[in-house]
Amino acid sequence: MGLQARQLHPLFFAEIVGADLKSPPTPALRDFVEDAMATYAVCVVRQEQISDEEHLRFARLFGDLELPPGYPNRRSKRMAPELFYAGNLDPEGEIKPPQPSGQNIAKATEVFHADSSFNAEPSKWSMLRGVECPPPEFGGATLFCDLRAAYDDLSPSMKDRLNGLRGVHDFWEGRRRAGLAADEAMRATMPLPAVTHPLVRTMPNGRNALFVGGHCVGIEGMDAHDADALLGDLYEHATQPGMSIAMNGPRATS
């Protein structure tokens, strides 16, 4: 069977069939995935478990890898340096006890966000790998949204209003708003200044997309109250039912 992409949602999201990530990747696979991502925004490859090395080899087809942030106590000896561990096991493989909300640095990831939007150069993609996935009835699903479809669904007047506006993305302020009580020692692990990005970005294929989420905490040059109101409206619009799809299980990302 050759490579195929099967759309799984009316607006976006596809399953890539026929990709063997355990074999050395080819230019044809790279080009196919690039085209599929441009079309569907989110793609899933289902196959037998791959290793960290095979994961990284596939990821490097699409550009340089972002080194993981220095989250306290988030590294695992089972992961390669370029992999960010997002599971619930400690370095000895034991289940970590739940942390109080005010001390859980990952709490903010429970709200919709674009990974690494707080960097001056946001990530091209996030590549996620389910290592140990519970049955769907146990919960733990992640919702994915298509911010291109969200932009398309805006009114003409809102599109005009957003033209030229830049959102302020701040890692620590986003987490503060999510309830994290970050002290100076914690902030020192990731001394990230706030950055700005257009509220509307144009993708390489020419489609426009909103660029909002949990890390976007203000709008450059706009009163904080007005910015919060506008960003809140855009957030609700982008995450409304019908514009998202759920995938189950814990992830490891590069």
pLDDT of residue 178: 80
Q: Is residue 122 part of a domain?
A: yes
Does residue 76 lie in a domain region? yes
Give the model's pLDDT for residue 253. Answer: 35
Close Cβ partners of 109 (under 8 Å, ≥ 6 residues apart)? 214
Could you tell me the pTM of the whole model? 0.83
186 found inside a domain: yes
Whether 225 is covered by a domain: the verdict is yes
Chunk the chain into consecutive blocks of 10 residues (it has 254) and report each block's average pLDDT, rounded to whole numbers. 89 93 95 96 89 93 80 52 77 75 62 88 89 75 89 97 97 84 77 94 93 95 97 94 68 34
* Token digits of residue 158: 């809102």
Q: What is the CATH number of the domain that holds 238?
A: 3.60.130.10
38 in a structural domain: yes
Q: Is residue 127 part of a domain?
A: yes
Per-residue model confidence (pLDDT) at position 228 = 96
Overall domain count for the chain: 1
Residue 254 is predicted with a pLDDT of 30
Domain presence at residue 39 = yes
Q: With beta carbons less than 8 A apart as the criterion, state whether 246 and 142 touch.
A: yes
Domain that holds residue 107: 4-91+101-253
Q: Which residues pair with 192 in a beta bridge?
A: none
pLDDT of residue 68: 62
96 found inside a domain: no
